[in-house]
Structure 1
């Protein structure tokens, strides 16, 4: 009993290539449809509408409780519609494939832990006051 149809090597390679192409379309088209994953996660958590403006800035590495840097992390900071009391933060790390992986997020008006409060405090220090119009 033969489990696989009798195909030539070329036919097997074409079938494998088709699977790879479809997987790539699904990965990039469905899981990453525009905004990076951490931006989408922050927009979802903050329940932002399409009209709300969220611009994140890479502010460097996240600092731990003792002031040491968390190697490999990136702290993204931003404000919703440039309002100081609506600050947001996200911490990412790059995977081995180079894609950003969300480690955590924080909202200034609803922190859930001390770690989130530290993230927002670091963002406030790094971003400074908002620019005047």
Structure 2
């Protein structure tokens, strides 16, 4: 499985977006090696549900997924902000169509850090968008 490779110290939005979107793909999500390559040691997620997840918990949850729900995931409004010489903040919105036809809108943010020779996600948060 080919993952996007991005080693530049000054990433472009398209580069970090490609890394983020790799985590949306079922074949990446079900691969322990792929997920571990994208998530940094010490990774933490604040889920839209309010649950806090560690790297280990997220890896286990993702590799056990059995559906193809990401076919119904749409992402928009990506922005990239530099927060230090080796870290960036990616923000975007997601919309997932549920089985009952309803839609769930979530505001998302991820911190990506250049660790060694590759960019890895250090933090992710999803917040349900109201109204």
TM-score computed with the length of structure 2 as normaliser: 0.35
Bigger relative contact order (CA 8 A; separation at least 6): 2
Whichever of the two has the greater Rg, that structure is: 1
Q: Greater share of strand residues, 1 or 2?
A: 2
Higher helix share: 1
